[in-house]
Amino acid sequence: MIILDFNIAGMNKQKIWEENMRTLSIAMSFLILAIMLGTVGYMFLNNAYSFIDALYMTVITITTVGFTEVHPMTDAGKLFTIFLIFVSFGIFGYLASAVTRFILDGVFRRNLKDYRIVRSIEKLSGHVIVCGFGRNGKQACIELIAHGEKVVVVDSVESSIDRIRLIPELLFVQGDATQEDVLNMANISSAKALITAIPNDAENVYVVLTAREMNSTIKIISRSEMSQSDNKLKRAGANNVIMPDRLGGQQMAKLVAQPDIVEFLDNILLQSTKGVKLEEVSCKSLANCFVGKSIRELNVRDKSGANIIGLKDEGGSYVYNPSPEIVLDKCFHLFVLGNKEQVFNLKQLLIKGI
């Protein structure tokens, strides 16, 4: 996916909008002024013209429709009509230019699209909110889209919004993520997770605090630049805190010490949409026939082709390479390795018991 740099366009977008609106306002003002001038002129130069007659004559004159005059005109009235026609040509030309520029600059189209985005966000449920569309935020969005998640990006920087517009799958809210009204626009009450990837740790703390207060059950993952911020973010309500610099260093070291293992895991985790995938499967909807039965009795490998390589129990503890004798429970979360079809078969097996 190609993301272009629109910094200059972003900086000038507001200026372009203001200039276009000013031009349209001036053009409309000239048009109204011409109608008023024409109406008054016809009433003054032709005493037989009522207000409605004068307004009618003005409109058919400046629009060059060319209907017959309501009443015979004096020579002064005819000269005034000629003058009004020339003036109206200039006004309509200016107005057409302003409207064309308004459309070609994309202002109307952009505003219409933004309105549709707002309506789409209001209907979302179970989506992920990403605050900040920098390097980390953008990569998070790309990975989430690849895994079929619905994503809403919150960013206040104009150039970031322009880059977001280039990705059709992304919805966005332009504003400060630390503000409640902005998170409300992102429909945080219906979101399942929030990622705050803002470079400033203090802002991330505010985002986490605000989000946790607005949705007590949402999963919050925060970026952190400094190790001292880790505990503060967790106390504020973050479920997980990620330090990109530390992860990058660990990754580089592991590529030296255990290169094949790292590449093997990367192929599973980062390219899961292309083949084999590692997926978390909840036992919440576990069929009654499997409750109290062991993993061996589930017979996963033979029936679905997938493998259970780990699980998370009701206490939050992780069990790696679980024993076949472990008894299943609806509170468990299984970590399953297999291709898309095999994982789907396993889910059906857990739910239907067949």
pLDDT digits (tens, 9 = 90+) for 24-64: 788 788 888 888 888 888 888 877 778 888 888 888 887 77
User: What pLDDT shows up at residue 15?
Assistant: 59
User: What pLDDT shows up at residue 110?
Assistant: 65
Q: Are residues 130 and 233 in the same domain?
A: yes
Q: Are residues 73 and 54 in the same domain?
A: yes
For residue 224, give the CATH number of its domain.
Answer: 3.40.50.720
Residue 181 banded pLDDT, cuts 50, 70, 90: very high
Confirm whether 252 is domain-assigned.
Answer: no
Cα 157–chain centre separation: 14
Confirm whether 263 is domain-assigned.
Answer: no
% of the chain beyond a pLDDT of 90: 23
Confirm whether 159 is domain-assigned.
Answer: yes
Residue partners of 187: CB distance under 8 A and separation at least 6:
121, 122, 124, 125, 127, 152
Return the DSSP state at 168. Answer: T
Give the strands of the sheet with 318-320, arranged side by side: 277-282, 333-338, 307-312, 318-320
Backbone φ and ψ for 130, nearest 5 degrees, come out as -115, 115
Confirm whether 185 is domain-assigned.
Answer: yes
Residue 277 reports pLDDT greater than 70 = yes
- Single residue among 73, 88, 105 that ends a domain in this structure: 105
pLDDT digits (tens, 9 = 90+) for 310-336: 888 888 788 888 888 888 888 888 888
pLDDT digits (tens, 9 = 90+) for 185-220: 999 999 999 999 998 999 999 999 999 999 999 999
The beta strands (E) that lie in 92-226 are given as 128-131, 151-155, 171-174, 193-196, 219-223
Per DSSP, the residues of 115-127 read: HHHHHHHHT--S-
Q: What is the mean pLDDT of residues 65-75?
A: 73
Q: Are residues 76 and 154 in the same domain?
A: no
Q: Are residues 148 and 99 in the same domain?
A: no
Confirm whether 341 is domain-assigned.
Answer: yes
Residue partners of 252: CB distance under 8 A and separation at least 6:
none
Q: Are residues 86 and 203 in the same domain?
A: no
Q: Are residues 164 and 241 in the same domain?
A: yes
pLDDT digits (tens, 9 = 90+) for 230-268: 888 999 999 999 888 777 787 788 778 878 777 777 777
- What's the mean per-residue pLDDT of the chain? 81
- Single residue among 49, 78, 105 that ends a domain in this structure: 105
User: What pLDDT shows up at residue 11?
Assistant: 40
Angle (nearest 5°) at CA 27 between 24 and 30: 150
Q: Where are the alpha helices (DSSP H) in 270-337?
A: 295-298, 300-304
Instruction: State the CB neighbour count (10 A cutoff) for residue 15.
Output: 9
Its domain, for residue 168, covers 109-246
Return the DSSP state at 174. Answer: E
Q: Are residues 125 and 208 in the same domain?
A: yes
User: What pLDDT shows up at residue 106?
Assistant: 56
CA distance 22 to 18: 6
Task: Report the DSSP pairing between strands 277-282 and 333-338.
Answer: antiparallel
For residue 49, give the CATH number of its domain.
Answer: 1.10.287.70
User: What pLDDT shows up at residue 216?
Assistant: 92
User: What pLDDT shows up at residue 1?
Assistant: 33
User: What pLDDT shows up at residue 344?
Assistant: 85
Terminal C-alpha separation, the chain = 41
Q: How many domains does the chain contain in total?
A: 3
Cα 114–chain centre separation: 10
Confirm whether 266 is domain-assigned.
Answer: no
Return the DSSP state at 286. Answer: -
Confirm whether 24 is domain-assigned.
Answer: yes
Residue 102 banded pLDDT, cuts 50, 70, 90: low
The closest of 147, 141, 187 to 166, measured between CA atoms, is 141
For 327, the token pair is 């008894």
Residue 8 reports pLDDT greater than 60 = no
Q: Are residues 101 and 121 in the same domain?
A: no
Confirm whether 265 is domain-assigned.
Answer: no
For residue 292, give the CATH number of its domain.
Answer: 3.30.70.1450
